Each structure stands twice: as structure tokens, then as C-alpha cells.
Amino acid sequence: MSWLFIIGCGFRQNASIESFESALSKLPNVDYYSGICAPEDKLTHDALCAFAKKLVLPIYGIKSDAIVSAATYSQSEKIFEVRRTGSVAEAAALAFFKAPARLIAARAISNDRQAVCAIAKGKNL
């Protein structure tokens, strides 16, 4: 089985499609993504949906308890207060996989500071 690559996203309500594009552009290029994941309570965000549509990728919702249990490289105190994790993007990307996964790119913050993306790879969903 080949590796799967997933984009984890964390973002503020005011994030735009340009916010997501900016954050992703700061990460290493990956030839193929399997999808985008974000907290399940944010799946209908217009800009996130537009970003996924532009990349022709499905969006997967990650439950809060899975986000909390994922160990992240980044440790934002502000994010920890709200979501109980150091990085929503990193945690969502890692939590997408049911088997061990690893980050290939820790969080990158968009120029407008409204969105964050990270990339994880794994083999088992």
C-alpha cells in the first residue's frame, strides 16, 4: 500500500480561500493529496469548501476527542485554550489516520494569519 498524504487545516471564521492557499504554499510540495481534514464543526465553512473544490479534494471531519489526543509539534497556548491541542492543523492531519502517521510538514500560517495548514502521511485510514 502506498502512502497517503492529508492536509490538516485550522482556521478562523474570517479565513478566505486565499488564506488557505497562502498557508499551503508555505509547505513542501506533495505530488498527490488524498484529502483535506478539519474539525468536524467547521466542515461547512465557505472558504474551506471552496479551497477543497479548487484542489478537487474531499473534506473529512475530525472529532474533537481525536484532535485532543493527537500529539503535535507546535504548541500554541491560545489554540490550547480553545481546542486543547497545540495545533489544530497538525492534530487534524495526524488524527485522520487510524494507524500511526507522521507529520511531513508542521503548521504553516497564512500571510493574513487566518488559516494554518499542515501535512501528515500514513498508510491506514
pLDDT per residue as tens digits for the range 72-123: 666 666 655 665 665 788 888 998 987 788 899 888 999 999 999 999 999 8
Contact 122, 96 (CB under 8 A): yes
* Mean pLDDT, rounded, for 8-33: 94
28-44 pLDDT tens trace: 988 899 999 999 999 99
4-122 topology per CATH: Nucleotidyltransferase; domain 5 (3.30.420)
Q: For residue 62, what are the contacts with CB-CB under 8 A and spacing of at least 6?
A: 37, 38, 39, 40, 91, 92, 95, 96
The predicted pLDDT at position 125 comes to 61
pLDDT computed for residue 66 by the predictor: 74
Residue 54 confidence (pLDDT)? 97
Q: Tell me the C-alpha distance between 60 and 53, whole Å.
A: 13
C-alpha dist (Å) from residue 82 to 52, 64, 68, 76, 87: 25, 11, 11, 10, 11
> From CA 96, how far away is CA 36, in angstroms rounded?
9
**What would the DSSP string read from start to end of 82-116?**
HHSSS-HHHHHHHHT-SS--EEEEEEEE-TTSSEE
